[in-house]
Amino acid sequence: MTNPLLSGDPLPRFDLIRPEHVEPAIRSLLEANRGQLATIEGDTSPTFARVVEPLEDLAHRLNRTWSPVSHLNAVMNSGALRDAYNVCLPLLTEYQTELAQSEPLCRAYAAIAEREAATLDPVQRRVVEQMLRDFRLAGVALEPGRKARFKAVMLELTSLQSKFEENVLDATHAWSRHVTDPAELAGVNEAIIDQARRRAHEERREGWVLALDQPTYVAVITDAESPALRRDFYEAWTTRASDRGPLAGRWDNTQTMEDILRLRHEAARLLDFDSFAAYALATRMAKTVPEVIGFLRELSRAARPAALREFAELETFAGGRLEPWDVAFQAERLQRSRYTVSQEELRPYFPLPRVLTGLFGVVERLFGIHIIERTDVPVWHPDVRFFTIESRGTQVGSFYLDPYARAHKRSGAWMDDCIGRKVMTSGSTRPVAYLVCNFLPPLGSQPALLTHDDVVTLFHEFGHGLHHMLTRVAYPSLAGINGVAWDAVELPSQFLENYAWHDGVLGEISAHVTTGAPLPADKQRQLIATRSFHAGLATMRQIEFALFDFRLHAGYDPARGGRVLETLAEVRREVSVVPAPEWNRFPHSFGHVFAGGYAAGYYSYKWAEVLAADAFAAFEEKGIFDRVTAERFLDSILSRGGSRDPLEAFVEFRGRKPDIAPLLRQHGIAA
């Protein structure tokens, strides 16, 4: 029987893929790849066509085989799938490290760079240059003992990072709050209450059972009138997978974080970098540790005075000192009193079908594309939908949309690569993306109703999706988001967020679920005004996360260990405005840094936000739907993937280097 992961179908067969297919498929593919690699490594007259293109093909096929497995592990997690996933992780890491440490391949790429310099086009040269850089960063030039140790470190890190994420997922799903007094639910969204009622019924309990999924946590901490309920949720959320809180010691990530930091530092030192932060910057737009620290502190100097004013005003409004679990609740009340608009009040105006239609309309006007839904594609859950994108009558890409929170699905929102674009002599593929969110699901016959924060999240992830799907790069290693400097990869996503805040768009993405009327003009004005509400506090929160992450990796000392909580305390003393209790353990669930790709890179969100605000300012100067500006943005940035230096690409679009002023203006923070 054919393994569906190896069937060669144009799209993954999510209707057929089972956990038992995973390990055989990966082992089979790795064996076949190694056989082809041996042939390529033995080529005595390497050329781009005989070495680079076959390697691009091998990587492309492996990525599209592993992608549905990795994706299902995040959105339909199960014990059997998790086991299969964890068996394959070290196999893949070992293979990738072997490939990246291959001296024959490195010599072949160096020879191609020298011999074919005059005949390669700019994108081909970039492919070769990036690979030569990656060879160096994988330790290809290390002596055998150090090379073997680097490989062992990479294998162990892969396992530890997966374990970190599993611990967070298990801790999140293990906690719930049983409520028997309806008064304790005062202020909470009716959809959340109904979901809790159904969960209690399923568990054969009286009353309501509130889970710790992200929509429920946000709703409780923002809207619940009960301080005790808010505190319980805050404590459970901020102590997940740690030594404190209601599940103290279960799935504790303390030692996992320590081991991850130790191994990252060791890997960097093996390659003669001072720190993992310096190693990470070798592939980034920012180039030095002082440059990143200086950037964050420059932003802090601009935003901190505003944040201090905002917090003092909030405590005055609340009538006294605020506990951390009171801040979001009181901020929502203050915002509502000032702007007569709230996130929950806006939900009826943002049914998901209308928001999607409006979002698609925005990108169709900007980039001349057309988005069409298909219902004949196998998906992993009944909630999932599939769309294709056409440009000038030709399909250029497609995407899956998985919008709702559910059990055994990772929290948060993300875009990921299902299939990358490829146009080579061996054949071609169009890019396919996963767009994943965790919105509240529909209630009865009513469609899912989004907060405006949810709307912004959807625009953000779709911006990532456009970056992946509208690429014109032929080689998979540089197509879409591949090969893009990590601190520039958020530019398209944060750029598109701006449209969700614009009065020229809000009427198109809103329609009251009962009357069909768009969000009234006065509500639109009030909503837009909230964008700068507590912008100082929001900026300082992101700076706190970014500075903590960067200092953790830049200042690691093997003699002292990770110093995770000590570093966090030092950073908080420097930049924090909202106090946090001693038992807060947010690092233990900080998946971006300890399980994802943002290690020594969380600053990228603010770095790219500067780029995005400056890019959007170009549209504001000409008109937010100006096609000439949009075509320039598409040509210079969206379609280029990793095929050129991000600073050069930005300068080509904007005509100058990035300026921090548009971001400060956008958030109402004085420079």
Return d(Cα 468, Cα 481) in angstroms, integer. Answer: 5
652 is catalytic: no
- Check pLDDT > 60 for residue 671: no
343-361 average pLDDT score: 96
Same domain, 390 and 479: yes
- Check pLDDT > 60 for residue 211: yes
- Check pLDDT > 70 for residue 542: yes
Residue 29 lies in a domain: yes
Residue 127 lies in a domain: yes
Using an 8 Å Cβ cutoff, are 501 and 460 in contact? Answer: no
**What is the tens place of the pLDDT at every residue in 22-42?**
999 999 999 999 999 999 999
Which is the catalytic residue, given 56, 184, 235, 461? Answer: 461
Which domain does 200 fall in, by range?
175-238
- pTM (whole model) above 0.75: yes
Structure-token pair, residue 561: 């260990």
- Check pLDDT > 90 for residue 443: no
- pLDDT on residue 341: 87
Please report, for the domain that includes residue 132, its CATH number.
1.20.1050.40
Q: Which residues of 242-266 are buried (b: 16+ CB within 10 A; e: fewer)?
A: bebbebeeebbbbebbebbbbbbbb
- pLDDT on residue 670: 63
Q: Tell me the helices (H) and strands (E) count for the chain, helix number first.
A: 26, 9
Q: Name, in order, each residue with C-beta under 8 angstroms of 292's C-beta and a sequence gap of 6 or more.
A: 277, 281, 286, 550, 603
- pLDDT on residue 1: 64
Same domain, 353 and 477: yes
Structure-token pair, residue 94: 């070992």
Please report, for the domain that includes residue 361, its CATH number.
1.10.1370.40
- Check pLDDT > 90 for residue 642: yes
Same domain, 202 and 89: no
Same domain, 182 and 120: no
| Number of folded domains that form the chain | 4
- Check pLDDT > 90 for residue 668: no
Same domain, 24 and 108: yes
Give me the chain's average pLDDT, please: 96
Return d(Cα 667, Cα 646) in angstroms, integer. Answer: 24
92-100 average pLDDT score: 95
**What is the tens place of the pLDDT at every residue in 159-210?**
999 999 999 999 999 999 999 999 999 999 998 999 999 999 999 999 999 9
